[in-house]
Amino acid sequence: MNLVRSLLFNLIFYLGTLLYVLAGLAVSVIGVKPMRAVVHGWSNFHHFLTRHLIGIEERFEGELPSSPVLFTIKHQSMYEAVATLRVFSTPVVVMKRQLSHMPLFGWLTQRYGVIGVDREAGSAALRNLVKAGKAAAANGRPVVIFPEGTRVPVGEQPGLKPGFAALYRATGLPVVPVAMDAGLVWPRGLVKRPGVVTWRIGETIPPGLPRGEIEARVHQAINDLERRPAS
């Protein structure tokens, strides 16, 4: 049954995504706000399908800040990559450059406001990350980064990529660590399972800390949050 539901989800979601992309491109000639509304509608569409077709519910532990912050998220699955657009307030998301350069979809993400990172570009990628991060902070938007750089299997604790510290320093924003357990219901591969995804929101870490300290605190926080039993 989970396989059937997953196949049906993929069919409906990706066909729907195409329609949302076309709609976003169409309304972008009117302005940025209607285009962003379409993107948020796409994230809500994803949530509706995961809730009613796959059977995934959500719960939150901790308080989401109302002011712009740098969210550092433990990344286990595609689920949170889409859900951040619904949960946070018009965030600027750091993502792989390849995604932001896909035909149609990539153009729409750029119009919405993302930071595409070329992992092979070295120092040039860091410079672009810093520039885009400063612009996002100046516009009063929260920034989302997956500081481990990619999806991580449940329980693994790789080190943070250098882009996080550069972005932290450039934006001057406080950091809110976040961990989710979406990998338990949404692992790599086709089959998704019903269950509860818990968003665990950590305590705010102030700006201006030395690189070693901020990296250590964020690394410990997102992994402690991942291991914390559900309340």
Angstrom CA distances, 38 to 28, 33, 189, 225, stand at: 10, 9, 28, 32
Tell me the pTM: 0.91
CA 9/CA 54 separation, integer angstroms: 7
Q: Given a cut of 80, is residue 213 above it in pLDDT?
A: yes
All structural domains of the chain, each given as residue ranges with its CATH number in brackets, are 57-227 (3.40.1130.10)
Give helix then strand counts, H and E, for the chain: 8, 7
In what side-by-side order are the strands of the sheet with 56-61? 56-61, 195-201, 175-180, 70-73, 143-145, 92-96, 114-117
**Beta carbons of 96 and 117 less than 8 angstroms apart:** yes
The model's confidence at residue 96, banded by pLDDT at 50, 70 and 90, is confident
Mean pLDDT, to the nearest integer, of 36-64? 96
The model's confidence at residue 211, banded by pLDDT at 50, 70 and 90, is very high
Query: Would you state the pLDDT for residue 37?
Result: 96
CA 61/CA 197 separation, integer angstroms: 11
Pull the structure tokens for residue 94: 């750091």
CA 219/CA 209 separation, integer angstroms: 14
For the ranges 21-25, 86-90, 120-124, 181-185, the lowest mean pLDDT is seen at 120-124
**Beta carbons of 194 and 54 less than 8 angstroms apart:** yes
Q: Where are the alpha helices (DSSP H) in 113-146?
A: 123-138
User: How many Cβ atoms from other residues are within 10 Å of residue 27's Cβ?
Assistant: 16
**Beta carbons of 29 and 107 less than 8 angstroms apart:** no
Q: Given a cut of 90, is residue 124 above it in pLDDT?
A: no
Query: Would you state the pLDDT for residue 121?
Result: 59
Which secondary-structure segment (H or E) carries 46?
helix 32-49
The model's confidence at residue 122, banded by pLDDT at 50, 70 and 90, is low
The residues, any chain, with a CB within 8 Å of residue 126's CB and separated by 6 or more, are 162, 163, 166
Q: Given a cut of 60, is residue 231 above it in pLDDT?
A: no
